[in-house]
């Protein structure tokens, strides 16, 4: 398929903000798509592989800028100037390619989606010497054949900022309209298929044959991580019981990071909640799984919690966060920052998906197959009760054991990937801490000049948009701490954010929502200064959350709940 056709679709889709219109446009586009163009589905999501695959395009703005310069023959400084003026690198490419095409009368050839995918798929595999040069030539090859509108969307795809407002749910409903006339139940079947496979093109393959029963063929597979089920928040134990029913399971809410454990024969893999493959970072856990969990093939859901080797005291997440990212000195880190795996769910066992089995059944199976070895691998601490007093005592015990709070789980509910569900609720002491994403910053002055010294934090709105909630400047160190992992300095955080800078004007920078941080705060106030309508008082940085995606940061709803609970001046625990 010609890439131009796709670019025209992107343009049409971004021309409307109305969901139904978007669905109509996408549905029309999907109907025209040949089965051999299935990979275009990934491009629609700004990707080149299924979501479960952690090979991503990952091109920084700086590198994209170099490629624009090279392919248009304009020097980098001038491209940078344009970028500062226009503020959108895609539009810069569009303008410069259009100027060039006018003077050279057309590009060299017709760009196809196959060629784009081919070249882009070569990018993530490049490592070592000469990588940058090779990346530049693969991208430049595409840009030199591109028309201005193609250049616009190529660059946006490269830097991961497509801006067409097409989400997974838009694709789901468009598939339903294109191939099943939006018949009743179709959307749900398609969603189930997406949940199980995490592969939108595989779902398209089946949908194009127009038989809903075809989706039954799609299976959950070991090695292909699916999105995790997320919890809603409850303010009181009473509320929690109302949502999940009585009796329910109450579990410790551990303060670590989510770890999906996949095993097939001898192969053991770990994925974070962001679906990042972290298998090589936890060699000791591979041993625990092989020795202490019965079964040939399974997918477990768990929380990895750090503890002090000597005192055996559990540590908060930020003290072990390095273990997720660090790819060197793994043995040393393993000794210094041991983790205990707390298994709380199972999604697949011996070839069979358990997603639609009731939680109680899954939970019993977990306890049957995992042999508890404290400080290595254990099943989550759990009680099953209808008694609020017992639940409260258990919750307090969890807090006393340095954990975050408690989870309340409906015993008969299935596992719903990728959604915050009302049948799994978390309860923590009056929350005062949030996960937020950085969407802007301000350069400092004096000893902090050259670095961002204040960071704009955003939560998520109802439609998935990011809404500002305040500025953070505390909790960050003045000086670089040489990767102790516990602290971060202004310059380190600025460097981490740089690849995502979207626009600089004066001392302020707009930043693409990518870097998630945990923050504490003293109070939430109503405020006209931020588009969320709220402002955090004294937000303080506590940890980088490389294991969390911008899509899963705290929502406006949660902020409202915190605001309301603070108004009632209610404290739990």
Give contact residues for ligand AMP (rule: CB under 6 A): 230-231, 251-254, 258, 273, 303, 344, 380, 407, 426
- CB-wise, 380 or 416, nearer to ligand AMP? 380
Which residue, 91 or 273, has its beta carbon nearer to ligand AMP? 273
> CA-based Rg of the chain, rounded to a whole angstrom?
25
> Cβ of residue 227: shortest distance to ligand AMP, in angstroms?
11
Q: Report the candidate in 400, 373, 430 with the shortest Cα–Cα distance to residue 252.
A: 400
CB-side neighbour CA atoms (13 Å) of 172:
16
CB of residue 80 to ligand AMP, shortest distance in Å: 39
Whether residue 510 lies in the annotated active site: no
Residue 397 CB, nearest approach to ligand AMP (Å): 14
Closest CA to 380 of 285, 313, 301, 291: 301
Helix, strand, coil in percent for the chain, rounding step 5: 40, 25, 35
* Nearer to ligand AMP among residue 143 and residue 229 (C-beta): 229
CB of 460 to ligand AMP, least distance (A): 12
* Residue least distant from ligand AMP (Cβ): 258
In the complex, what is the shortest distance from the CB of residue 230 to ligand AMP, in angstroms, rounded to a whole number?
6
Smallest separation (angstroms) from ligand AMP to the CB of 74:
46
Beta pairing, strands 534-537 & 466-472: unpaired
Whether the CB-CB separation of 429 and 573 falls below 8 Å is answered with: yes
Select which of 189, 253, 315, 426 is catalytic.
253
Q: DSSP letters along 47-89, please?
A: -SS-TT--------HHHHHHHHHHHHT--HHHHHHHHHHH--H
> Which residue number, 135 or 426, has a Cβ lying nearer to ligand AMP?
426
How many other CB atoms are found less than 10 A from the CB of residue 408? 26
The number of residues in the chain equals 573
Give the Cα separation of 62 and 326 in Å (integer). 24
With respect to ligand AMP, which residue has the nearer C-beta, 273 or 323? 273
Q: Rounded to an integer, what is the distance from CA 128 to the centroid of its chain?
A: 27
Of 164 and 391, nearer to ligand AMP (C-beta) is 391
Show the tokens assigned to 275: 């679906």
**Mind telling me the catalytic residues?**
253
């Amino acid at each position: 398929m010609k890439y131009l056709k796709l670019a025209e679709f992107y343009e049409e889709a971004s021309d409307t903000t109305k969901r139904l219109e978007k669905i109509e446009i996408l549905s029309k586009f999907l109907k025209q798509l040949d089965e051999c163009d299935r990979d275009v589905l990934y491009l629609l999501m700004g990707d080149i592989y299924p979501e479960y695959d952690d090979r991503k395009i990952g091109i920084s703005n700086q590198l994209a800028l170099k490629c624009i310069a090279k392919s248009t023959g304009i020097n980098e400084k001038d491209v940078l100037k344009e970028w500062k003026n226009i503020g959108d690198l895609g539009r810069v490419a569009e303008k410069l390619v259009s100027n060039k095409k006018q003077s050279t009368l057309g590009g060299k050839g017709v760009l196809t989606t196959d060629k784009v995918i081919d070249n882009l798929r070569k990018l993530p595999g490049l490592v070592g010497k000469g990588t940058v040069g090779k990346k530049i030539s693969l991208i430049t090859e595409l840009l030199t054949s591109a028309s201005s509108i193609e250049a616009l969307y190529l660059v946006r795809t490269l830097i991961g900022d497509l801006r067409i407002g097409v989400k997974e749910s838009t694709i789901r409903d468009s598939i339903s309209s294109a191939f099943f006339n939006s018949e009743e139940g179709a959307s749900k079947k398609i969603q189930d298929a997406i949940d199980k496979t995490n592969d939108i093109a595989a779902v398209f393959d089946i949908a194009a044959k127009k038989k809903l029963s075809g989706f039954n063929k799609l299976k959950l597979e070991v090695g292909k991580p699916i999105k995790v089920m997320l919890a809603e928040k409850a303010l009181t134990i009473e509320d929690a019981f109302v949502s999940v029913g009585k009796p329910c399971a109450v579990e410790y809410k551990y303060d670590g990071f989510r770890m999906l454990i996949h095993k097939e024969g001898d192969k053991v893999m770990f994925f974070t909640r962001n679906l990042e493959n972290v298998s090589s970072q936890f060699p000791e856990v591979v041993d625990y799984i092989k020795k202490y969990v019965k079964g040939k093939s399974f997918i477990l859901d768990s929380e990895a919690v750090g503890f002090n080797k000597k005192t055996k005291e559990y540590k908060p997440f930020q003290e072990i966060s390095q273990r997720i990212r660090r790819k060197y000195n793994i043995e040393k880190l393993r000794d210094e920052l041991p983790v205990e795996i707390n298994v709380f769910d199972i999604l697949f066992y011996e070839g069979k998906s358990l997603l639609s089995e009731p939680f109680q059944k899954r939970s019993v199976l977990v306890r049957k197959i995992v042999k508890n070895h404290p400080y290595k691998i254990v099943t989550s601490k759990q009680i099953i009760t209808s008694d609020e007093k017992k639940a409260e005592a258990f919750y307090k015990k969890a807090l006393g054991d340095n954990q975050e709070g408690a989870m309340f789980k409906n015993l008969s509910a299935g596992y719903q990937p990728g959604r915050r569900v009302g049948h799994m609720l978390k309860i923590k002491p009056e929350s005062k801490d949030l996960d937020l994403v950085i969407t802007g910053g301000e350069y400092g002055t004096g000893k902090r000049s050259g670095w961002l010294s204040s960071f704009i934090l955003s939560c998520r709105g109802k439609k998935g948009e990011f809404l500002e909630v305040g500025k953070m400047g505390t909790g960050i160190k003045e000086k670089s701490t040489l990767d102790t992992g516990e602290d971060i300095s202004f310059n380190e955080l600025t460097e981490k954010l740089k690849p995502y800078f979207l626009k600089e004007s004066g001392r302020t920078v707009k930043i693409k929502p990518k870097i998630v941080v945990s923050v504490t705060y003293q109070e939430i106030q109503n405020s006209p200064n931020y588009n969320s309508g709220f402002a955090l008082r004294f937000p303080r940085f506590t940890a980088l959350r490389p294991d969390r995606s911008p899509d899963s940061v705290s929502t406006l709803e949660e902020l409202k709940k915190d605001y309301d609970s603070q108004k009632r001046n209610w404290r739990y625990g």
